[in-house]
Structure 1
C-alpha cells in the first residue's frame, strides 16, 4: 500500500518550515488581465490587486433536479453549466479561477477601457440570460425535461493572490488562492442570493453607473436588503431576472415568465359578443362597489389613526415605566452592594480588632504562661490572623518572634522554635536574622538541623535581597555552627 516515507516526511517538514519562516514578498499588481499561476511561481510571493471584482455563481436547489436524476444526466448538466458560465465570464473580460462542482468563480480587473465592476456586471447579466434562454431550453429538450436556476454574488475591493499547490511526478495541482474579505463576502452573497437573482455588496453597487441601476423608464432595478447567514448580517442590493436586452433579442424573445403573463391574457374579442358593453358593465360594477367602500373608508382610516396614536402613547408610557423600573432597580442594586461592602468592612474590622486584642494579650503574658496554655492561645491567634490575611510568620512577628523563640527554647520546645526561625528566612519576614545569634545557634545545634538551616539562609539571600548587616549576622550564626567550609562555596555569604 502506498504511504509517505520517512524521507518524504522530512522533505515535507523542511518545505513547511521554509514557507512559515520565509518573509512573503508582496508587490502591487500593475497588469490589465487577471494573473495566473504562471505569473506566481511556487514561492512566498503575492500580488496585491487594488481594484478586483469577484463573481460567484452556483446552481440553486430545484424540484426539477431531484434525487431521481441519473448520475449521467447530472454530469452532463454540470459540464454544460461550467462551460456556459466560463464562456460568460471570459467573453465579459474576466477569467475563471475556480470550478467546484456546481459553483464557478470569476475574477475581473480594471483595464484601459473598462473597470472590473462593469465587466463583472455584464458577466452576471449574461449568465442569467444564457441560463434562461439557451441553457434551460436545451436542457429541457435533451436531459429528461430538466432545468436549473442559479444565484450570483458579487463584491469588489482589494485582494491578495498567491500560488498554492505543487507539481509532483508530472501532475500540476497548483492554483491561485484569493485572500481577503472581497472573495469571502462575494461567496457569502452567492449563498444568500435567490434563484435568478444577482445579489451584490453596497461597495459594488456604489460603483455602478446609472445605466446599470435603472430601467428604460427610470425605475430602480435594485432592491436594498439585509440577509442573515449564521451569526452575521449582510447588507446588499438584489436584482431579479436582470437580463442583457440585446442578447435576449438575439435569442428571440422575452423572459419565459413574461411570455407566460402575455399568453394568459384573456381575449374577449369573440364573434357575436358586444365587447364594449361587457367592458362598460364591468367598469360600472366596479365603480359602484368602490363608491360603497369609499363611503366608509375615511371613517375607518380616522379610527385606525386614532387607535394607532393611542397604541403609540401606551407603548411610550410602557417604555417610560420600564425605564424608571430599571433606574429604581439599579439604585437598589447599588445600595445593596454598598451595604454588602460596608458589612464586609465592618466584619473585617471586627476580626482585626479581636486579633489585635488577643495578640497583644498573648504577647504581654508570654513569659509568664505555662507551655500548654501558650501553645493553645498561639494556635488561636494564628487562626484569627489567617481570617484577616496574615501568614503565621507575620503573626509571630506581631508577637515578637525573638520572644517566642526564646520562650519555646526555654521550655524545651526547640523543634518548634527552629521551625519558626526557618519560617522567618523562607517567607522574607522582618527580623529574619533575629533573635540573638546565640539563641539561634543553641536551638539549631539542639535539633541537629544545621544543613537545613544553611539551605534556608541561602534561599533568603538568593530571593529576598537582605542587607549587608543581616548577611553578616547570618554568617556569624553559620560560623558558630561550624559551617565555615560550606560558606566559601556560596558567594552571597562571602563578605569580608
Structure 2
C-alpha cells in the first residue's frame, strides 16, 4: 500500500471499462405494470424508463436526538422509525429503494386492480398519510412512555419520468470472492426534487409538486405554497396532519413532535422569497419588452424596404420610419430607466435584510456563516450592476458587516470594515472598536485614520482617546 502510483494493469482495467460503457448504446426499456427487481437490472447501458412517483421522508432534528440519547437508544429509535416507514410504503403499493441515514426513498407506479386504475400519486399520498399516522398514533406514544421523547418527519413527493440503471463495479477480476460493489441510480430531476421537497416540509407535513397534485381527488384541503432553499424558490402544495382513519377499537391519541417555528426566521425567509419572486417578475418584464422591441424593429425594417421600392412615397415613408425610430428610442430609454430602477430596488430590498437582522446575533447565527458570505457576495454583484464599487457597498453596509463578522469570529474582516467606517462614516461604537482591535490584534491603520479625522475637525476625539488608553 506504500506505492505512490497506479499500476499499468489497473489503469488499463479502468480504461477498458470506460471505453466499454461509452461505446455501448443506451437501450431504453419501458417500465410496465411491475417495477423491475434490483437483481434483474443488468450491469449495462440498459435503462428502465417510465412515469413514477418518488417519496422521500426523513426524521427531523435526528442529530439533536443523537446528541441527547445514548447510541443504543438511538438504535431503537432508528429501527422503529424505518420499520414503520417501510410498512407504510409497502402496504400502500410502493417499494422501498434507498436508505441514507434517517432518510428513506419510496417508489410508486400506476397500476390496475380489478379494472380500477390507481395512480402512482394516490399511492404515494396514501403512504405519506400512513407514515404520519403511525408516527403520531403508534411510535410517538411508545417513545414518550419509554424515553420521554417524540420525533417528527417531513415527506416530499414528486411525480415524473425516471430512468433506472445499475452502476458500480463487480468483484475484483483477480479475486472472484471479492464483493460486488454495485447499486442503482435513479436518473432524472424527479428524484432530486422529491428530496428537496422533503427537506422543505415541516414536521407532520406533506409537500408535493404540481404533477402529483393534478392526480389527487381531495385537492381542496391542500394549500398552494412556495418555499425557499438557497437561491431557489420551490412551488408546490402542502397539507399538515393529514392522517388516515383508525378503527373505533383503537383509542390511541396523537402525540406530536414540537413544530419547528421561528417567527423571525420565517420573516427573513419571506423576504428572501419575495425578493426572488420580484427578481423573476423583473426578468419576465424585461424579456417581454425586449421581444416587443424586436418585433417593432423588424416591422420598421420591412417598411424601410418598401420605401426604397416606391419612388413617389420614399420621402413620406422615410419620415414615418424616422418617427418609428424616435418612438423605439424613447421606449428603449424607458426600458433602460426601468431596468436601472429595478436593479436599484433589488439592491435596496437586499440591503433591508441586513438592517432587519442588525444586532440579532441568534438570528444571524441561525442562518449560518456560508449563507451570509454568499449573501454579502450577492450585494457586491447587485452594487456593481447599479454602478457601485465594492468600497461603496461596504460603506452602505459597514455596521451590519461588522456585526455579522463578529458573530462568526471573523475579526480580520471586521477590522477592515471598521477602518472603512472610521474613514467614511460619521460615527463609531467605542465598545465594538475595543472588541475588534483586541480580537484582531490590528490598530495601526485605524489609529492613522482617526488622527486624520480629528485633524480635519471630525468628532472622533473620544474614539482616538479610547484607542490610546488601550496602549496603542
TM-score of the two chains, using structure 1 as the length reference:
0.48
